Amino acid sequence: MKKTTIKLLKGIAIVCVTILIIELIYIFYLLQGKSIYFDGINSVINVDNGYVSVGSNNNNDKYYEKAKITKYDSDKVKEFEKIYNKGYNGVFFDVIEDQEKNLIAVGSFESNDKDHSEGNRVGLIVKYDKDGNILYENSFKVLDNSKFTSIALTNDGYVVTGQSVYDNMKVGLSLEGGAIVIKYDKDLKMTWMKNYGDSKTACYNDVLIYDNYIYTVGVTDSIVGIISKYDMNGELVKSVRYDNTDNLGFTGIDYFNGRILVSGAKKNDTDINALLIKYNFDLELRKEVVYEGENLERFNQFVVDKHNNVILVGTSAKVDDKSSGDKVNVYVHDGLIGKYDENLEKVSVVLYGDDRDDYFTDVVISNNNYLVSGYSSYEDGSYLSKFITYSDALKTLGVE
């Protein structure tokens, strides 16, 4: 096997440790018999006079990873933080606010002893009132391992995406598993469910509802990106594959200036680069933008500001100089934020980080600035969540 191919395969495995890295960190240290502290944010949204974030931490006696939802005021002072303290390990990946100011979070957790012993999870959706009290909840599982990754609001409920796949040790073919899209009513009762792709790796990572259609993005067949279009009854209208993504595939989607934008990563023979694609509403590719940095990069999520600039956040991975020459390279991760204009021409791309790991997971507009969520590692092995505020010129204004 060529050295460039070997390097690429190693890089793919490393750069995909982005939005979901908190789960992997926890499992690793659990197997090592260590109890480190971690607290991570996976998603943040604007709400009236403040923000709401979701993620996980292990601030409990048994050091289980627990899904959490946190509400902040406009100064990012916590108004409440609620831990989903059921089962064993769990995490929230996304959250929305509905018309009644309720908060709906989605993720996954180990619901019972069997799940915990086998390391498998079920999809989780929880509806909170504005004060963080649980109103409704539901779980989901078809195959061994399930999770919900994103949620969008409809007039009469919610559309959720995720996956349900076989565990790593099982070989098989299922016509029911793979990438999942589900419609729930406001009481979190399932209205319909659809699946797509293979039953080992397929996953929908994000969802957009626009003009009475549902658009989903994700991955299938390990390194093939996918964008799909459904009607509001869950019937598949069209799906388009994009070869040569990384293992996460497409992770972000949103409406942009009469088109759809999709974010992710693209691999070639020797490298992995951050990727931004513009599609029309018939899922025809209109423009592709690749950011070729010095390291292994990907764009995770993005937001469009009032000037039609696209603000993207992601991760950049490079070999730690201290491990250079070792049989297995150790990678250092930096946060990445980029700005592209309405023609998708690059304005600026900036890295954030030091000798330890820094990850950017989401971004929102905040008082004409950009509020980025993420987490960083520290010398004692802990991982702590943070907010970084950037100016219009992508200058760091504050870290909290």
Mean pLDDT of 81-97: 97
Contact 21, 15 (CB under 8 A): no
% residues pLDDT > 90 (the chain): 77
* pLDDT value for 322: 66
Contact 84, 65 (CB under 8 A): no
| Band of residue 323 on the pLDDT scale cut at 50, 70, 90 | low
Measured CA to CA, the distance from residue 160 to residue 96 in angstroms comes to: 11
Measured CA to CA, the distance from residue 204 to residue 248 in angstroms comes to: 10
Instruction: Supply the pTM of this predicted model.
Output: 0.90
Shortest CA distance to 336 belongs to which of 301, 309, 368?
Answer: 301
Contact 361, 300 (CB under 8 A): yes
* pLDDT value for 175: 79
Strand partners, 38: 383
Q: At 208, is the secondary structure helix, strand, or coil? A: strand
- Between β-strands 252-256 and 236-243, what pairing exists: parallel, antiparallel or unpaired? unpaired
- Between β-strands 157-165 and 145-153, what pairing exists: parallel, antiparallel or unpaired? antiparallel
* Correct CATH for 3-255+265-292 of 1.20.58, 1.10.3470, 2.40.160, 2.130.10: 2.130.10
Strand partners, 164: 146, 178
Q: At 316, is the secondary structure helix, strand, or coil? A: strand
Q: What is the pLDDT of residues 180-237, one digit of tens each?
A: 999 999 999 999 999 999 888 999 999 999 999 999 999 998 889 999 999 999 999 9
Q: What is the pLDDT of residues 351-383, one digit of tens each?
A: 999 778 999 999 999 999 999 999 999 988 899
Q: What is the pLDDT of residues 142-187, one digit of tens each?
A: 998 999 999 999 999 999 999 999 887 677 677 789 999 999 999 9
Measured CA to CA, the distance from residue 241 to residue 49 in angstroms comes to: 40
Strands ordered across the beta sheet of 331-340: 296-304, 310-319, 331-340, 346-352
Q: What is the pLDDT of residues 22-60, one digit of tens each?
A: 454 444 444 444 568 999 999 999 999 899 999 999 988
Residue 349 has pLDDT above 70, yes or no: yes
